[in-house]
């Protein structure tokens, strides 16, 4: 007798369940505390019906259809529940008995929905609810955008998801389909990430990218005030013991011209293969470093020699500025600074200003940038470093002169002509003559372990 009453519809059971007037939250709490239904029909009327009532559907009227025919009697079948809008069915629900393995029935409900052109369908055995987008490409499991467990999931989340995907207002307005599509795409992206990220990370730590190494170096400096060598960072990423990295042995030409493989610490005095100018520079620096002669005349001679070498290096690139700096035990920015202080450089700068020498463009890492001023070149170099090094760009804040900052997050800290670097929130000083700006650009590059030789400048005379 009970089975016949349930087949008539939801109306005959309204007073039996006594769910009228309850909120969705209270209904879900009641479902949890009552005994699990014994069969499929009980699942429909003791779980699905009260949930649909609270989601705004009139389970006693024509908008909730039971045993809804899909297709013809020969080629189609009947789905347990269809939710109908003003003009058409908007969702299907296929019910199964509790503890029934839903995997065996997925293709059935998806076929029903796909055949009828319906965008959302649900498969449930009472406690477990699965939501599908049948029109999506891929096997059935890849079309599932949500799984709800009425027994264990948080009540608030259950109520929110049920209302989002099955609420009458959301289904009729199309909001349920839009949200379901977003959720499925997010799930697919998460699946791809879960599959590929371990592979990407394994490759990154096996052959660490310079950007990852640089990020670790920058973080170590911020937290420990130490700058580990790249080899040490790579060893950590690979899970190897951290090596003790000695000071680099001075090199000359190695790795640049395979016909000239020479290694020479400055202290040995060996100068084979060097040009006469290069030997004189090394000798002069040895004299300066030893303290034997630090007179103004000696300093001036050293500056002039370096200026001549820079001019030679611009024409003949057999030795880079970095290699020369390693030989004499100085940084490249120090060499450029000295060269720029020479009489020849100052005269050349005056001649350049008189001739109207202006910057036209700069090239960095193979990319050419048109600029209208030397200050724009300096900002452009800083922005290129920001794009490449991201979070570790804060390292530029460590640069400062004797009495002033060269970079700061506070615009007021920059005394002369502050310029903002991209979206970094950091301002840099762009004051000074041409030599100052070129030297500062080299300092920027060295700070992030790049060579000033990476920078090429194009000028014109008006």
Cβ-based neighbour number of residue 91 at 10 Å: 23
- Residues 134-182: pLDDT tens digits? 988 888 888 899 999 999 999 999 999 999 999 999 999 999 999 999 9
Number of other residues whose CB lies within 10 A of the CB of residue 398: 12
Instruction: List the one residue out of 2, 134, 128 whose CA is nearest residue 79.
Output: 134
**Cα torsion angle, 317, 323, 327, 331, sign:** positive
The C-alpha atoms of residue 361 and residue 355 are separated, in whole angstroms, by 18
Chain Cα centroid distance, residue 317: 38
Distance between CA 380 and CA 457 in Å, rounded? 12
Q: What is the pTM of this model?
A: 0.45
Cα 79 from chain centroid (whole Å): 46
Which residue, 389, 256, 408, 378, is CA-closest to 324?
256
Lookup result for tokens 């998460």:
190
* Strands of 260-354, DSSP E: 262-263
pLDDT at 362: 93
Strand 128-132 to strand 262-263: parallel, antiparallel, or no bridges (unpaired)? unpaired
DSSP class of 370 = E
Tell me what pLDDT residue 87 has: 85
**For residues 11 and 44, what is the distance between their CA atoms, to the nearest angstrom?**
13
Task: Give yes or no for a contact between 296 and 342, defined as CB atoms under 8 angstroms apart.
Answer: no
List the structure tokens of 27: 């209904």
What are the contacts of 182-188 at 24+ separation with CB within 8 A? Answer: 183/145, 183/146, 184/133, 184/136, 184/143, 184/144, 184/145, 187/145, 188/142
pLDDT at 452: 85
Distance separating alpha carbons of residues 63 and 172, to the nearest angstrom:
11
Cα 121 from Cα 116, distance rounded (Å):
11
Query: What is the number of other CB atoms lying within 10 angstroms of the CB of residue 245?
Result: 12
Rounded Cα–Cα distance for residues 445 and 46 (Å) = 71
Per-residue model confidence (pLDDT) at position 229 = 82
Low-confidence ranges of the chain (pLDDT < 70): 1-22, 73-75, 245-278, 280, 284-305, 307-357, 402-403, 461-462
């Amino acid at each position: 007798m009970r089975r016949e009453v349930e087949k008539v519809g939801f109306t005959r059971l309204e007073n039996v369940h006594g769910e009228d007037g309850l909120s969705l939250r209270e209904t879900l709490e009641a479902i949890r505390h009552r005994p699990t239904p014994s069969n499929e029909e009980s699942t429909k009327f003791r779980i699905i019906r009260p949930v649909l009532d609270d989601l705004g559907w009139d389970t006693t009227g024509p908008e909730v259809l039971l045993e809804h025919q899909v297709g013809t009697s020969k080629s189609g079948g009947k789905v347990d529940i269809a939710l109908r809008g003003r003009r058409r069915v908007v969702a299907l629900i296929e019910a199964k008995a509790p503890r029934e393995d839903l995997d065996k029935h997925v293709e059935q409900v998806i076929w029903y929905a796909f055949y009828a052109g319906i965008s959302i369908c649900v498969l449930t055995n009472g406690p477990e609810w699965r939501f599908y987008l049948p029109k999506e490409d891929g096997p059935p499991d890849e079309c599932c955008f949500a799984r709800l467990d009425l027994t264990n999931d948080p009540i608030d989340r259950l109520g929110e998801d049920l209302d989002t995907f099955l609420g009458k207002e959301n289904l009729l307005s199309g909001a349920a389909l839009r949200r379901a599509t977003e959720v499925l795409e997010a799930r697919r992206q998460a699946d791809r990430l879960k599959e590929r990220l371990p592979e990407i990370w394994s490759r990154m730590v096996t052959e660490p990218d310079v950007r990852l190494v640089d990020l670790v170096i920058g973080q170590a400096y911020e937290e420990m005030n130490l700058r580990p060598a790249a080899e040490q960072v790579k060893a950590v990423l690979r899970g190897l013991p951290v090596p003790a990295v000695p000071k680099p042995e001075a090199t000359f030409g190695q790795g640049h011209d395979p016909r000239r493989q020479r290694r020479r610490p400055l202290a040995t005095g060996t100068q084979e293969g060097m040009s006469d100018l290069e030997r004189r520079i090394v000798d002069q620096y040895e004299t300066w470093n030893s303290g034997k002669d630090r007179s103004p005349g000696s300093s001036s001679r050293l500056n002039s020699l370096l200026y001549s070498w820079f001019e030679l290096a611009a024409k003949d690139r057999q030795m880079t500025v970095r290699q020369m700096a390693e030989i004499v035990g100085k940084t490249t920015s120090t060499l450029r600074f000295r060269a720029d202080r020479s009489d020849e450089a100052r005269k050349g700068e005056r001649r350049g200003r008189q001739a109207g020498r202006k910057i036209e463009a700069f090239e960095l890492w193979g990319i050419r940038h048109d600029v209208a001023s030397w200050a724009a070149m300096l900002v452009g170099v800083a922005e290129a470093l920001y794009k490449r090094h991201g979070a570790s760009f804060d390292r530029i804040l460590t640069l400062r002169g004797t009495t002033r900052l060269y970079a700061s997050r506070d615009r007021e800290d920059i005394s002369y002509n502050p310029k903002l670097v991209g979206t970094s929130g950091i301002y840099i000083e762009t004051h000074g003559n041409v030599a100052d700006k070129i030297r500062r650009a080299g300092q920027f590059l060295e700070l992030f372990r790049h060579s000033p030789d990476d920078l090429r400048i194009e000028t014109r005379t008006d």
